[in-house]
Amino acid sequence: MEVEQNLEKGRLKMIEGSDHRPVSSLAVQIVASRKKKALILDGSQTVNPYFIVRECKREGLDEKEILRKIMMARAFTAYQYEDLVEKAENKLRDTGVIFLGAVALSPLFEDEEMSQEEGRWLRSRLVKRIKNLVDEEELYGVIVDLEVEVFQKRSRERKDLLKKEFEGKKYMNNSSVSLFG
């Protein structure tokens, strides 16, 4: 299996889409190759154990053994998703999990009961928490979401802002202009 070629331990990979299959397939591959557990957080209510069984059969794996090592948690609201991540942060060390997959963040954060600004802020904070969790625990991590470019664009914007800020300070420090005459 070519998991190591597709994913880096300790780095979060983001895939654009709404389909659970990339997360489910990678969970099967990593559980089979590493003999450790996987956690899938599902905001789309689409993660399907029958798909996982089919993946196991296709790869010639013992589906019962693999299914015992894949934990799934579903969220129906943005706040439930946030709660699932918080529980993962608190208990992941004790569970032997090596893979964290998250499916469909965006739809839950675009609820009519939540302002667009609040939804963006919560989603951004949640992605950061997942990223930190993957990094700190040295996990294989994947998020599948419809709005990956939003996160990538914000990251680029932050880098550009920091670069401009740095260049501005450099310019001011090298300047010979006196403000006091």
Residue 104 has pLDDT above 90, yes or no: no
Q: 73: closest CA among 64, 83, 63?
A: 83
Element spanning 71, H or E: strand 70-74
Beta partners for 41?
73, 102
Three-state DSSP class for 154?
helix
Q: What is the pLDDT of residue 3?
A: 52
Which ranges of 14-147 would DSSP assign to H, the alpha helix? 21-34, 49-59, 63-68, 78-95, 116-136
Phi, then psi, of 76 in degrees rounded to 5: -110, -10
Q: Would the pLDDT of 74 be above 60?
A: yes
So what's the pLDDT on residue 95?
Answer: 86
Q: Considering the entire predicted model, what is its pTM? A: 0.78
- Give SS3 for 60: coil
Q: Which CATH number does 3-148 carry?
A: 3.40.50.300
Per-residue pLDDT band for 170 (boundaries 50, 70, 90) equals very low
Neighbours of 9 (CB within 10 A): 17
Q: How confident is the model at residue 160 (pLDDT cuts 50, 70, 90)?
A: low
Higher pLDDT, 155 or 39: 39
Percent of the chain, pLDDT > 70?
Answer: 78
What are the boundaries of each domain within the chain? Answer: 3-148
Predicted local confidence at residue 177, as pLDDT: 34
